[in-house]
Amino acid sequence: MASDMNDYFNKKKSEGGGFNNSNSGGGNTPKGPQMPNLNFNFGGGKAALTYFFIAIVIMLVLAKPFIIIQEGERGILSTNGKYQEQALLPGLHFIIPVIQKVYTVDTKVRIINYASRIETNSNASGIITKPAITILDKRGLPVSIELTVQYRLNAQFAAQTISNWGFSWEDKIINPVVRDVVRNVIGKYDAESIPMERNKIAAAIELGIEKSIKSLKNSPVILQSIQLRDIILPAKVKEQIERVQLAKQQVQQAEQEVQRAKQEALKRAAEARGIAEKARIEAQGKADAVTIEADANAKANILIAKSLTTKLLQLEQMKVQNKFNDALRVNKDAKIFLTPGGSTPNIWVDTKDVQKRTTAR
């Protein structure tokens, strides 16, 4: 630009006009000075277009007219402070900066632990730890209940839930309902009977919480599970329950010993009956054997008697006579007395030695 200006002034000077309006002897009055023609060319239209697009991109990045909703989340779109009824699904969504804003809410399973002590995973995402629920039993004794409640935000009505309950919906829905139901259920029992009715109490608490949550408009929460983890009783009540349980165990042990003694007595009686029965059977067997043997001998004698004939007796006499004849050859001094009638001899006398006598029948 400076060179253009110098060229301009040099041209005017060479024409002799200069910048002085005084009479110079010339006939024509020189023209006055004119503004130079400035050139603002930035290198062509392509560079200008590039700069324009860069400016647009920078503006979009700073304004952020889009949002990405992750899986397990829903987006609550607010336009000038008014929530849209339908929540945004996972994915990419474009919004109008400044006018619209998106709030993301978690629809995954969440956990509230009502515990007496802080657990190691209490700071994990989606896990909330609250103090154990302390209520009064039927007699006014304090009882602490430890629960675990698993739930999730109903994704279908997420926008309505946030609109009605706000982003602190858990403290407004879950916590009050759980405490109220536990208080009503435990208040019906004595502290001593609570451990024995544990299953019944757990079922009543689960049913009460589900009924209360489902009664809310648009079902803002979906319950997954409710677990009764522990029942903490006062120290005195706990000691009393332990004494009662110990007494019951002793009674049961005594009853078991009595039953064991009865079983032993029945066993011994059964063994004695078995031994007696065995002896009776053995005696009966021996008696039956004697009877059978006697009957057999009697029958045999009858058969023998029937078989004895005169000729058979004579034959037997001859056999015996032969045997005595053989004996007389050895001992000639022996005497034999025969019974009348021709029966077999029944007396043998050895005359050589009077002390040695044998009587045979």
Please enumerate in sequence order all residues whose Cβ is within 8 A of that of 178, keeping only pairs 6 or more positions apart, or say none. Answer: 112, 114, 133, 147, 149, 209
Q: Is residue 340 part of a domain?
A: yes
CA pair distance 336, 314, nearest whole angstrom: 18
Domain identity same for 120 and 193: yes
**pLDDT score for 165:** 92
Q: Is residue 33 part of a domain?
A: no
Per the CB < 8 A criterion, the answer to whether 130 and 147 are in contact is no
Domain identity same for 286 and 353: no
Q: Is residue 211 part of a domain?
A: yes
**Nearest Cα to 163, choosing from 223, 220, 212, 96?**
220
Residue 313 or 348, more confident: 313
Residue where one domain finishes, among candidates 307, 331, 346: 307
**pLDDT score for 11:** 52
User: What does the pLDDT look like over 163-182, one tens digit per residue?
Assistant: 899 999 989 999 999 999 99
Domain identity same for 221 and 189: yes
Residue where one domain finishes, among candidates 307, 325, 341: 307
Question: In this model, does residue 272 exceed pLDDT 80?
Answer: yes
Domain identity same for 262 and 337: no
Domain identity same for 229 and 264: no
Domain identity same for 222 and 322: no
- Among 85-89, 137-141, 301-305, 356-360, the minimum mean pLDDT is found in 356-360
Domain identity same for 186 and 300: no
Fill in the amino acid letter for 299. Answer: K
Domain identity same for 121 and 177: yes
Residue where one domain finishes, among candidates 199, 217, 233: 233
**pLDDT score for 352:** 58
Domain around 261: 236-307
Domain identity same for 147 and 245: no
Return the CATH number at 229.
Answer: 3.30.479.30
* Banded model confidence at residue 119, pLDDT cuts 50, 70, 90: low
Q: What is the pTM of this model?
A: 0.53
